[in-house]
Amino acid sequence: MILRTLRISGILLIGGLVVEALSLCWNNAFSFMSFAVVGGLFFASGMLLFLYSLVSNND
């Protein structure tokens, strides 16, 4: 279970990094919003999931 959570967390974070890379290809308000909203959501959920996996791991 913990390994699966780590995988999902990593995939979400990679998603955030891809959004960040794409957003840096343009310089306009849309790319900024993509980075802040979509990228931010990916990052936040990925990191929170990782932290959750730490506290829920009783092994």
Measure the N-to-C terminal CA separation of the chain; round to a whole number of Å: 11
Three-class DSSP labels, 3-23:
HHHHHHHHHHHHHHHHHHHHH
Count of residues that bind another protein according to CB under 8 A: 33
Which residue's structure tokens are 């506290």?
A: 55
Site for another protein in 2-31 (CB under 8 A): 2-4, 6-7, 9-11, 13-14, 16-18, 20-21, 23-24, 27-31
Binding site for another protein (CB under 8 A): 2-4, 6-7, 9-11, 13-14, 16-18, 20-21, 23-24, 27-33, 35-36, 39-40, 43, 46-47, 50-51
